Structures are given as C-alpha cells and as structure tokens.
Amino acid sequence: MTQPKSIRCPSCRAVVHAADADFPFCSDRCRLIDLGKWASGGYVISTPIIDPEELESLRQKEQQSSRDPNDDLPSHKTQ
C-alpha cells in the first residue's frame, strides 16, 4: 500500500504534502495546537478496556507503582 501524496492537516484542514517539513501538519503552529489538545485531555479513548486480562495487568502495574519503594529494602533495627 502506498502513502498518500497529500492529506489534510488535522488541526486546520489545509492540504499538506508528504514532502512538507511539518507533515502531517501544515505548520509548527498546528502541531503545537494538536499537542495542546493532547496535554489538556481534549483527546480521549472512546471505549473502555473490557479485556479482563488487560484490566488485571493494569491493576497490578498500578499497585506496584503505588507501593512504598522502601518496602523492598531490608530492615535494620538499631538498638
């Protein structure tokens, strides 16, 4: 399958050619606008994750990241 020679800028809908420096955006300004939408939460995943294995994997990762890093260190009691 071949790449399209031109597409529309995701931000302003201007025609952008594949050879343009800011591809797939028409300019650095439109690239920053798009980045701002990601950073502010303007883009979201439209459907929740429903795969039980994936949910369990995410729960385990969350639990590991919320653990106290000192829990893994051996305890040395001083008298």
**6 vs 37, residue with greater confidence:** 37
pLDDT exceeds cutoff 80 at 14? yes
pTM of the predicted structure, to 2 decimals: 0.49
Residue 78 reports pLDDT greater than 80:
no
User: What is the pLDDT at residue 33?
Assistant: 95
pLDDT digits 0-9 by tens, 57-75:
888 988 888 776 665 556 5
Q: DSSP for 6-61?
A: EEE-TTT--EEETTSTTTTSSSHHHHHHHHHHHHTT-S--SS----HHHHHHHHHH
pLDDT in tens, 19-51: 899 999 999 999 999 999 999 988 887 777 678
